[in-house]
Amino acid sequence: MKKKRRINYFRLFIFLIILIGLIAGGVFLVKEFIIKKDDNHFIQEQKKDNNNEIKKSPLKDLNYSDDDIKIINDSLSEEHINYLVENKIKSEDIIPIVKETYYIDYYLKDYLSYKKENPSKENNLIVQAVNTHINYPFYTHIEDTDESLGKFVLLNKYYKASESYKANDLIAVSSEYHLYGSNFELSKECYEAFLEMYNDAKEAGYGFKINSPYRSYQTQVGLYNKYASTDGKEMADTYSARAGHSEHQTGYAFDIRDFPYTNPDYSKTKSFTWVSKNAYKYGFILRFPKGKEYITGYQYESWHYRYVGKEAAKYIYDHDLTFEEYYEYFVKFKNPRNLK
């Protein structure tokens, strides 16, 4: 008797578990259904809103197509849409620019005026020029750089740092890793990445050492003046930065040379072949690449590397960008289109 009763309890227990399972499952399904329905409803409403917005858009009067209006509504501020209307900007003058990957709405008026001055220039080059400020001559329209950005601080011919600026985590570079001089320093983050790269290169049979890492504002004053007095300012500007504009002041940049030394032209060394292919994996970029002199304002420098972190370095490497282009879109304007 006793045994039988125990079995009944057991069956009851199993039954209850199944019942609870079924109820929970049912509740889950009903909930899912309600959420989906809500979502669908929301999407439908949004579509309706978008269609209404397109229908009543003032751009209709300027013969913008529905697709064009959608592109404009998705990318331009209301103020800028009004600007298009008030200035009767034709769709063919603005749509190709907005469609460019690195379009930054803040620069709308600059894109339009630069295009007007350069009607035959391709749209990607219009966006590139305005984003990197090369629509202005070098060393004009200079802004104070945001010194709080660490590895993303941009110093070039349009962005400058104050006299006192330097990375706040500068540490000494061991003499094992640099060629001559003493008291060499780099940002700790950059130095650690350098050591990782250095060791992997060594293991693969390639050698290099640091030639010039962090340089203070004052050091740069002396250096630039020396070059300018020998070669003249115009020439010196192609290879040396004016004080406050040098990447070396950040503590996130350095020059290297092959070691053992084989060639005064680093780009012709075996070491360079390895470094140029692998640096991005450690967070470094070739800062002044060949063919981008018109953006960076410097001659091609196979020896100058800049630490920007692995994610940014990979993006820059994969998309063949300069730091100027990356900085403006991803750092300063915080990736407005959520590009991956």
Binding site for Zn ion (CB under 5 A): 255, 304
Instruction: Pick between residue 115 and residue 304 the one whose CB is nearest to Zn ion.
Output: 304
Q: Please state, in angstroms and as integers, the Cα–Cα distance from residue 227 to each residue in 41, 215, 233, following that order.
A: 68, 16, 8
Report, in Å, the least distance between residue 306 CB and Zn ion.
9
Report, in Å, the least distance between residue 223 CB and Zn ion.
11
Cis peptide before 260 (omega within 30 of 0): yes
Instruction: Pick between residue 111 and residue 214 the one whose CB is nearest to Zn ion.
Output: 214
Report, in Å, the least distance between residue 96 CB and Zn ion.
37
CB-CB contact of 253 with 284 (8 Å):
no
Instruction: Pick between residue 95 and residue 289 the one whose CB is nearest to Zn ion.
Output: 289
Report, in Å, the least distance between residue 194 CB and Zn ion.
14
CB-CB contact of 152 with 331 (8 Å):
yes
Report, in Å, the least distance between residue 255 CB and Zn ion.
4
Q: State the residue number with the nearest CB to Zn ion.
A: 304
Instruction: Pick between residue 231 and residue 255 the one whose CB is nearest to Zn ion.
Output: 255
Instruction: Pick between residue 80 and residue 304 the one whose CB is nearest to Zn ion.
Output: 304
Instruction: Pick between residue 97 and residue 155 the one whose CB is nearest to Zn ion.
Output: 155
| Cα 201 from Cα 117, distance rounded (Å) | 48
Report, in Å, the least distance between residue 304 CB and Zn ion.
4
